[in-house]
């Protein structure tokens, strides 16, 4: 997740400050909900922050996000 966020930031999809702010906001929300301070909570916060950023900048729509636990369908080019 962190490598993906770094790569998207380096590619100009959002700034490192945007990433930091989004991740911090998600972690604060998790804390307010009483979520445990563990790897699962951090991963969920990082995923939510990344999803928020890529939807906000128009890279994907919310419909383009695959629900967790569902298969990912890759569409590569057109059939001939």
Q: Using alpha carbons only, what angle is made at residue 47 by residues 67 and 33, rounded to the nearest 5 degrees?
A: 95
**Predicted pLDDT at 80:** 47
Q: Does this model's pTM top 0.85?
A: no
Query: Could you report the per-residue pLDDT of 15-70, keeping only the tens digit for each?
Result: 999 999 999 999 999 999 999 999 999 999 999 999 999 988 877 767 766 666 67
DSSP strand E in 1-80: where?
Answer: none
Which of the 8 DSSP states describes residue 67? P
């Amino acid at each position: 997740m962190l490598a993906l966020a770094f790569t998207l930031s380096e590619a100009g999809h959002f700034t490192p400050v945007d990433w930091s702010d989004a991740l911090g906001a998600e972690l604060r929300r998790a804390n307010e909900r009483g979520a445990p301070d563990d790897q699962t909570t951090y991963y969920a916060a990082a995923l939510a922050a990344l999803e928020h950023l890529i939807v906000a900048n128009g890279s994907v729509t919310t419909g383009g996000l695959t629900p967790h636990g569902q298969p990912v369908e890759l569409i590569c080019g057109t059939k001939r």
